[in-house]
Structure 1
Amino acid sequence: MTSFQTVSAGGLEVFYREAGKPGAPKLLLLGGFPSSSHQFRNLMPELDGRFHLVSIDYPGFGNTETPDPTKWEYTFDHLAEIVDEVLLGIDFTGPMGLYMHGHGGPIGNRLISLHPDWLQWQVIQNSNMYDEGFTEIWDGMRQALWTDRDVENQAPLNALLEPKAVKAIYLTGHPDPTKISPDNWNLALHFLARPNARRAQLDLFFDYRTNAAQYPAWQRRLRRDQPRTLIFWGQGDILFTPAGGDAYLRDLPDAQLVRLNSGHFATEDRLHEIVDGINSFYDETVK
């Protein structure tokens, strides 16, 4: 069964989910905006018979604290530092698999840079690392906010935090919307309504430019190390285009790419394809 725990890191109480038995192969689940470890609530029980799993709510997400952005810096570097401190604190280290979705990609890549020996294999699900992988929804950030953050440029991005947009992130590209629980966006909106939460997310939108700046270095690492990689890509993702998934094959020609008839949160309606794919990939490529 999944357990729900907290640990102190960076002066915060950080929430995480844990499942499986210590001593089993480790798999770290790093989720994306606007969700939290909640997005893995169905995946963890499907994999806990063979993996030791951990998923962390970053500061500003889910059940972890949302400190005041005027006093706490919301950057991907800082989130990665907190995740690293949590993993060291609960002794979830050493060779492992990293499942990286959305924001989890830039956080995971920072962890790999800190601890290259931790990466045994990786699963990438709709997490971009190439310039051509952005949909038009990013245009406002790339053309305005990333180059000149001011009130005028930032204002249109507030719409991404409104109920209509959050719901669209969960539903767009999924062929049967009735398969996607409204608990997803209702919970995300609940957390976004907390004090400091919207400003924290806007700060991260602004800081996303630092991820794009590191793409060339991360791509060079892929070409050099050729990590064993399984890619799941929802083809109808509102945030990242199919080209973003295809681009990995330039640097990882031996990676396995599974194109899913799904959207950004593919574990909602393609859970069993993902579970079967992970189990098969681990048996055939990693074990």
Structure 2
Amino acid sequence: MTSFRIVSAGGLEIFYREAGKPGAPKLLLLGGSVSSSHQFRNLLPALADRFHLLALDYPGFGNSEIPDPAGWDYTFDSLAEIVDETLLAIGFTGPMGLYLQAHGGPIGNRLISLHPDWLQWQVIQNANSYEEGFTPVWDTMRRAFWSDRNARTEAPLEALLEPETVKAIYLTGHPDPAKISPDNWNLDLHFLTRPRAHAVQLDLLYDYRTNAAKYPDWQRRLRRDQPKTLILWGQGDFFFTPAGGEAYLRDLPDAKLIRLDSGHFALEDCLQEIVDEINSFYDDTVK
């Protein structure tokens, strides 16, 4: 069974989900939805028979504390620091696999920079590290908002946090919408109604420019270290194109790429395929 716990890290109350037995191979799940670790609710029990798994909610996400953006910097550096402090506080350290999805990609890459010896293998699921991976959804953000943040350039981004867009993020690219539970976007929308929640997400969308700036560094590390890598890529992702997944093969020619008939949240309709791929990859490549 999955356990639900809260730990103090960096002076904040951080919520996390844990499954599997301590002593089993570790797999850290880093996602990107506003409801955060909820997106792994089905993957945790599906892999708990062979892995010790942990998924957490970042500050301002899900069930974790939401400090005021006026006094707390919502940057990917800050989120990675809290993830690091959380893992150290509960003793989830040492060699492990990392499952990186969406925001979990840049957070995980920062964590690997802090602890390069922790990365034993990785699963990359719709987490971008290449210039060609951006869909046109990013165009306005990159042209105007990232270069000059002000009320005028920020206003169009509010549309990404509105109900119809949040729903579209969950449904775009998924061939059968009936397989995607509305609990997903309704939970995200619930968290987005909290005071300061929109400011949190807008701060992170602005800071996403720092991730794109780090792409060359992360690519160099991939080429140098050649980590064992399974790439699972929803081909109809709202945010990241299929080319974003293909690009990893330039630097990781031995990586395994699985093209999923799915979207950004592929665990919603490709759970069993993902579970099978993770298990077989671990057996064939990692063990």
Q: Normalising by structure 2, what TM-score?
A: 0.99
SS in 1 for 2:29: strand
Counterpart in the other structure of 1:285? 285
Give the counterpart letter for 1:276 in structure 2: D
Aligned 8 A contact 2:35 2:191 in 1: no
Residues 59, 65 of structure 1: 8 Å contact kept: yes
Secondary structure of 1:74's counterpart equals coil
SS in 2 for 1:89: helix
Matches within 5 A, 1:10-21: 10-21=10-21
Task: Say whether the 8 Å CA contact 1:7–1:86 is kept in structure 2.
Answer: yes
Contact (CA 8 Å) 2:34, 2:191: kept in 1 or not?
no
Q: 2:11 & 2:91 partners in 1: Cα distance?
A: 18
Alpha carbons 1:34, 1:166 under 8 Å: kept: no
Tell me by how many angstroms 1:33 deviates. Answer: 3.0
Instruction: Name 1:228's counterpart in structure 2.
Output: 228
Q: Give the 3-state SS of the residue equivalent to 2:6 in structure 1.
A: strand
* 1:179-194 equivalent positions in 2, closer than 5 A: 179-194=179-194
- Corresponding position of 1:112: 112
Give the SS at the match of 1:174.
Answer: coil
Q: Output the CA distance in 2 between the equivalents of 1:265 and 1:148.
A: 31
Partner SS state of residue 137, structure 2: helix
- Indicate conservation of the 8 Å contact 1:20/1:51, yes or no: yes
Judge conservation of contact 1:231–1:257 (CA < 8 Å) in 2: yes
2:218 aligned with 1:218, yes or no? Answer: yes
Structure 2 portions without partners, runs of 5+: none
**2-side partners of 1:248 and 1:50: how far apart?**
27
Q: How many residues align?
A: 287
Match of 1:197 in 2: 197
Normalising to structure 1: TM-score of the pair? 0.99
Q: Please tell me whether residue 49 in structure 1 is matched to residue 49 in structure 2.
A: yes
Secondary structure at 1:61 match in 2: coil
> 1:275 — aligned with what?
275
**Structure 1 residue 34, shift from structure 2 partner:** 3.1
Percent identity between matched residues is 77
Read off the aligned partner of 1:62 and give its amino acid letter: G
Spell out the pairing of 1:1-287 with structure 2 (5 A cutoff).
1-287=1-287
User: What's the offset of the Cα at 1:141?
Assistant: 1.1
Q: Give 5+ residue unaligned stretches, structure 1.
A: none
